[in-house]
Amino acid sequence: MKTTYKLLILISCIFVSASCNKDDDNSSTPTTVDYQPELKNISQLVITATYLNLNNEAGDLVTAVSNLKNNPSTITLEAARQAWRETRLPWEQSEAFLFGPVEQQGIDPSIDSWPVNVTDLQNVLAGTGNLTKTYIDGLDGTLKGFHTIEFLLWGTNSNKQIGDFTNREFEYLVGCTESLQGATLQLYNAWQANGQNFEQILYDANSSNPYYPSQKASLQEVVNGMIAICNEVANGKLFEPFSQQDITLEESRFSVNSKQDFADNIRSVENLYLGTFNSGGNGKGISTIIASKNANLDAQIKAKITSSINAIMAIQGTFTSAITNDPQGVQNAIDEVSELQTLLQQNVLTTIINL
């Protein structure tokens, strides 16, 4: 595209050479800005890198749960719980980009269905069937994935002891974590270059691309993902259990990991915006584009991301207790994330649409 514009400028100057000089250069041909560097970094070093980390952690979770089954103790139980938390983190930091294969291939329900269908789970555990990965793969999402594993590890009241586990529960945990890791591997393979290479589909936007006919379309997909998770955190994960004073609506309450989940959701927005993940990424993200158009808006978005995360983590005690004991803290978090959503929707998305 840049080459075409240079050729047009050259031809124009040849035909009107008499006026192509310093004294008479009042017209200019608009240049096309190439946003592939930002898209490539976001796609490869943020999104695919997050899914690689998720899959690696899920493999460690399988190892930890297998060790718990084979050597049940308070130590191996806490190790399995910590492995769950560490696997949960990259998943929650992926929720700003729940588009592409995770949606198209129906992978999300196998990883993160909520709530757990405790009644059906207990029926399965009371049976005599072989609780293998293959069997669990075929079950409904509410009987597998993160929250089923969480429920089995912590119990309804977050105080499950090692002596409370049955052999069937250990078997189910192993099969369920293997099923989870199968889903995370499927997701990683869908994005990575040596797999189905969706990362290239996102960054190599052009008229023949079946999903993104332009770079603007790819960028809009990314920003809309950021908006969607802000909406889910503010109006779903925070507001629903708070407004209804119903802890059963609180996600990740068995593990008491809710606030960490919510903060990591906003960190997923931050990762896309800044173009970084952990120590990776080259810093080319949505921020690079917004800063080139409106430096004040860029600074405002960065500050609001930080204040949103801080407000979530500042909620007093557990989120379970906070919905009744710290209503102001919960409301502050809702307000901060809602304001971030508004800025992204009204200012950032508008800027991208008008590129």
Q: Per-residue confidence at 276, pLDDT binned at 50, 70, 90?
A: very high
**220 shares a domain with 348:** yes
Q: Are residues 171 and 228 in the same domain?
A: no
Choose the weakest-confidence range: 5-14, 119-128, 314-323, 337-346: 5-14
Residue 32: the pLDDT is 83
- Kindly state the average pLDDT of the residues 68-90: 98
- Strand partners for 280: 277
Asked if 157 and 225 sit in the same domain, the reply is no
Residue 14 lies in a domain: no
1 falls within a domain: no
DSSP, res 317 = S
Query: What domain range is 142 assigned to?
Result: 53-184
Residue 189's identity, in one-letter code, is N
Name the domain count of the chain: 2
DSSP structural state of residue 245: T
Whether the per-residue pLDDT at 226 is higher than 90: the answer is yes
pLDDT for 31 equals 54
Residues 180 and 228 in one domain: no
Residue 58 included in any domain? yes
Q: Write the CATH number for 168.
A: 1.20.1420.20
CA distances from 166 to 160, 163, 187 (A): 12, 8, 32
Q: Residue written as tokens 């800044």?
A: 274
Which amino acid belongs to residue 218? S
Q: Are residues 220 and 349 in the same domain?
A: yes
Residue 28 lies in a domain: no
Could you tell me if residue 92 is inside a domain?
yes
Residue 180 contacts by C-beta under 8 Å, 6 or more apart in sequence?
58, 61, 87, 110, 111, 144, 145, 146, 149
The answer to whether the beta carbons of residues 69 and 173 sit under 8 Å apart is: yes
DSSP state of 344: I
Task: Please write the tens of the pLDDT for every residue from 184-193.
Answer: 999 999 999 9
Domain termination residue (choose one: 184, 205, 224): 184
Q: Which pLDDT tens digit goes with each residue over 40-64? A: 999 999 999 999 999 999 999 999 9
107 lies in the same domain as 156 = yes
- How far apart are the C-alpha atoms of 224 and 247, rounded to whole Å? 29
CA distance 254 to 163: 18
Do 169 and 223 fall within a single domain?
A: no
The phi and psi torsions of 128 (rounded to 5 degrees) equal -125, 5
Is residue 43 situated within a structural domain? no
pLDDT tens track for 140-193:
999 999 999 999 999 999 999 999 999 999 999 999 999 999 999 999 999 999
Distances (CA, A) of 138 to 55, 61, 100, 143, 144: 20, 20, 22, 10, 10
In a domain, 193, yes or no: no
Q: Do 169 and 288 sit in the same domain of this protein?
A: no
Is 274:283 a contact under the CB 8 Å cutoff?
yes
pLDDT for res 112: 98
Q: Are residues 179 and 84 in the same domain?
A: yes
47 occurs within a structural domain: no
Q: Is residue 243 located within the same domain as residue 180?
A: no
Statement to judge: residues 123 and 231 lie in one domain: no
Residue-level pLDDT at 16 = 34
Report d(CA 99, CA 224) in Å as an integer: 10
Mean of per-residue pLDDT scores for the chain: 92
CB atoms within 10 A of CB 353: 11
Checking if the pLDDT of 335 tops 60, the result is yes
Instruction: Verify that 161 and 283 share a domain, yes or no.
Output: no
